[in-house]
Amino acid sequence: MRIGLIGLGGMGRGLAKNMAAKGVDLTVTDLDAERVALAVRQGATAGDNAVQMARDCQVLMVCITTAEAVQALTLSPEGALAAMSPGDILVDHTTVSAEHVDVMRAACEAAGVLYCEAPMTRTPAHADRGEVNILFGGEEALMERLRPIFETYAENIFHVGPAGHAIRLKLIHNYIAFANVASFCEGFALAAKEGLDMTKVIGIISAAGGKSGMMDLYGEMTLLRDFTPHMSLSNAQKDVRYYAEWLEQAGLPGFMAQSVHQTYALASIMGHGDEGCTAVIKAYEELTGVEAKLPAAD
């Protein structure tokens, strides 16, 4: 099958690298020409545009920024979905809203196109190594058809359930992860303001119930003032917003979700959206006037 991949950002570039390296007939496109050029050097083919790729490829993968961007790309009368043929497959790797999956599934069914949602967990570094986790929502038989492709860049492929279940689980996962980041950043900022020994903070917290995967990944980086956007703050804000909206639609109170979302929104408004998600600490620091850092960061 000829595969098309739209989106060569943090996760997409790793997908493209691994598919091309393992012999997949891959065509790519991105708004950034340098990203496309890199993928071509790694063995992919540059696509003219998304619509032409949709016409030429049997599997079209989308790995971009938001649900709104995916729908703008695919669902307009001149969009990618209209160019696809019945029986083609649309794989949505984007972290989107719960409502988006229902909209896309209905539109694809009407066009005779097979739709599956396949949000991913882990980081761009995992994508580069071909070690992402895929959460698959859709028919299990379709997942098995796509498995040889997925295995070129995924370590684990989980069948979560029907379309809609994968993104819902991904949003729950991301909310818990980013709420954890917001909470330890708040704690770090308070520790710094009160003059605690920052060389002891992570070790002592991680020796008890405060230990977490996100702190293991990003805690020391935060105190070393490394805000490389492995997962950008703006993307964290987007994911928590989708979760909060879904929670409200489900009829559940969302006090914590709204607080976490507004924390990221504030940091983004302060100009930190393009930095890593732990740059949320800078919102607290700008209020206290004290940086939370290890001596090595001086």
Write the pLDDT tens digit of every residue in 124-145.
Answer: 999 999 999 999 999 999 999 9
Q: Left, alpha or beta for 43 (phi > 0: left; psi -120 to 50: alpha)?
A: left
Q: What is the pLDDT of residue 283?
A: 96
pLDDT score, position 296 = 77
Task: Evaluate if residue 285 carries a pLDDT over 90.
Answer: yes
pLDDT surpassing 90 at residue 15: yes
The 10s digit of each residue's pLDDT in 23-63 is 999 999 999 999 999 999 999 999 989 999 999 999 999 99
Let me know: does 80 contact 74? Beta carbons within 8 Å: yes
pLDDT tens sequence across 60-75: 999 998 999 999 999 9
Query: Is the model's pLDDT at 262 over the cut of 70?
Result: yes
Residue with tokens 């030429």: 56
The answer on pLDDT for 119 being more than 80 is yes
* Predicted confidence (pLDDT) at residue 297 exceeds the cutoff of 80: no
Q: How far apart are CA 290 and CA 193, in angstroms?
A: 6
With b for 16 or more beta-carbon neighbours within 10 A and e for fewer, the 185-206 pattern comes to: bbbbbebbbeeeebeebbeebe
What pLDDT score does 200 carry? 96
Nearest C-alpha neighbor of 133 from the set 120, 145, 117: 120
- Whether 298 shows a pLDDT value over 80: the answer reads no
Which segments within 47-148 are labelled E, that is strand? 59-62, 89-92, 114-117, 120-121, 132-137
Confidence tier at 78 by pLDDT (50, 70, 90)? very high
- The helix (H) or strand (E) run that includes residue 28 is strand 25-29
Average pLDDT on 16-21 reads 98
Separation of CA 291 from chain center: 28
